[in-house]
Structures are given as structure tokens and as C-alpha cells.
Amino acid sequence: MNGSRIAAVGHYQPAKVLTNEDLAGMVDTSDEWIRSRVGITTRHIAGPDEPVDELAAHAAAKALAAAGLTPADIDLVLVATSTAVDRSPNTGARVASRLGVPRAATMDLNVVCAGFTHALATADHAVRAGGASRALVVGADKMSDVTDWSDRTTCVLVGDGAGAAVVEAADEPGIGPVLWGSVPEMGNAVRIEGTPPRFAQEGQSVYRWATTQLPPIARRACERAGLEPADLAAVVLHQANLRIIEPLAEKIGAVNAVVARDVTESGNTSAASIPLALSKLVEQGAVATGDPVLLFGFGGNLSYAGQVVRCP
């Protein structure tokens, strides 16, 4: 085998929907204020009895079913998350337990909003190196657990959810080379820290960095896949803020691509945002099997990772 591919995707969101009007009853904000600044209208919020590994397992089960596989077919479980409450067992192990995956290697990756694309690259490397045959790659976060609901600058942004992909060996590469990195000296611009942990960010710094520094990096990810941005069928960026997504997509030059805008109905779900948005595009038929799609995560740690994949 010369590469790996995404065989199927799946996603899950909690039933509870929190609207802008709901938030206006909690903090000094309004629907107009939120829409004009971040483009979000609704977000899904998990209940106290819905831990992040449960969200992850629901999405993973859907991806497995879509791939026509059983839990016994999986030998690697990678979960990208920054909101797991417990250190051990890790979230990957708990997802494997919930699904009944036997004997798989399990691990978590904490690269916050760029977590899924880091995890996808790690699975691709493991499969191509022969360390795994089929991997479950999940991005899952319960941002409501780390949010100060009295802070209108952050509570309007977040949502909970999970997205998953099944990665397997392939004769032709379906996951392009990753382009990843970070800006450690600016890592404090996005934080989840303290006791209890709370999400905070320097919004203007993140906006400037994302809209000015990231477009050429995303274009280089396309180059590594042997494509021009105009060849892309879709662009799935981290769903941080519509005011970041739209100018970033435009500056990449993907003039013929569908641009995922799931942030409007899901909010910022951190590591879940890219697989969640990709799964919805597939479900809606907005992209066809084999179409080239740029996935590009960025944010916490001021890390980034992007690759072009072929749509399952």
C-alpha cells in the first residue's frame, strides 16, 4: 500500500440547542451583536451526564457504520480533545471501551483547535508505516465545561460536539502530506487553563494571525498535494468565527470550492469542528466521493495543521 484514505466520516451533536436569544438572557449581549461579530446563530450544549468520550463514541460509531466495518476491524484509536476531565484512562481508551474495540492502541492528542488535523496526519503516518491497518480518528470537545458563562466575549463562541473518520490503507494516497507547525511565543493567545479550567483568548491577535499568516501556509498544503487552490472542491477550516473563515478562504484562492460554514449553527467546537463540518458536507451531498478537500486546523497553542484529502 502506498498511502491511506478516509473511508467514511460521522458526526454527533447533543440535543440541546442554545440560541443567541437564550444567551441574551444570560449575559449582556444580543442576537445582532453575536451575528455581526462571529456569525453564530446557535450552538449545541451537552448535559452534565454527557462526557466528552460519549460524544466521541457516538461520532465514531457512525463513521464505523458508514464504512461498513465493525469495532474489531480497528487497531488504532486517536482522539483529539482538550476538554477531557480525567487523565487516565485516556479518552481514546474510553471510546474503545464504549464501542467494544479489542486490543487497539489508544491515545489522545491535545492540539486544541488543530487537534483533528494533527490526529489525521498521525493516523496516516501510522497506516503508511505499517503500524496500523485501520484507525478511528475522532475530534471531540465539550467546550461548555471550560467556559465562563458570565463572559460575553467567550461564551457566545462555543459549542459541544464530535466528528470522526475511519482511516485505512489504500493503493493510492487519499490523505495528502501534512503541513504543520506552531508559533510557541504566541501560545498564550488562546488558553484553557486554571482550576477550574477556563477558555480565554486574545481575539484580535488570533484574528490578525489567522487572516494574515495562515493563507500562504494553507496554499503550501495544497502544493504538497500537487494541487492548485482553484482545484479544490471544498475547504473545511477550523470553525472559529465566520469573520475569520470567510477572509481566510478567500485569501487561500479556492475560488471554485464550497466553503464550510458550520460555525453558524454549531459554534466553535474546537477539535470537533473540522470533522463535524466535513461530515455534514458529505451527508448533504455538497462534495462527491474523490473530490479534493482542504482540511486546515488552527488555534490553540497557535498551532496549525493542514492537508488535502479525497472525500470519502
Using an 8 Å Cβ cutoff, are 201 and 207 in contact?
no
- Amino acid making up residue 125: H
> Of the candidates 181, 88, 80, 73, which has an alpha carbon nearest to the alpha carbon of residue 127?
73
Query: Residues 20, 113, 155, 301: which is the catalytic one?
Result: 113
Residue 138 CA to residue 180 CA, distance in Å, equals: 18
Q: Which residue has the cell 467514511?
A: 8
Pairing of strands 292-299, 234-237: parallel
Query: Residues 11, 58, 118, 238: which is the catalytic one?
Result: 238
Q: Dmax over Cα atoms in the chain, in whole Å?
A: 56
Indicate if 268 belongs to the active site: yes
Residue 221 CA to residue 205 CA, distance in Å, equals: 23
Using an 8 Å Cβ cutoff, are 228 and 222 in contact?
yes
> Of the candidates 164, 184, 190, which has an alpha carbon nearest to the alpha carbon of residue 268?
190
Indicate if 20 belongs to the active site: no
**Residues contacting 22, CB < 8 A, separation 6+:** none
> Of the candidates 242, 164, 156, which has an alpha carbon nearest to the alpha carbon of residue 199?
156
Indicate if 58 belongs to the active site: no
Residue 70 CA to residue 220 CA, distance in Å, equals: 36
Catalytic residues: 113, 238, 268
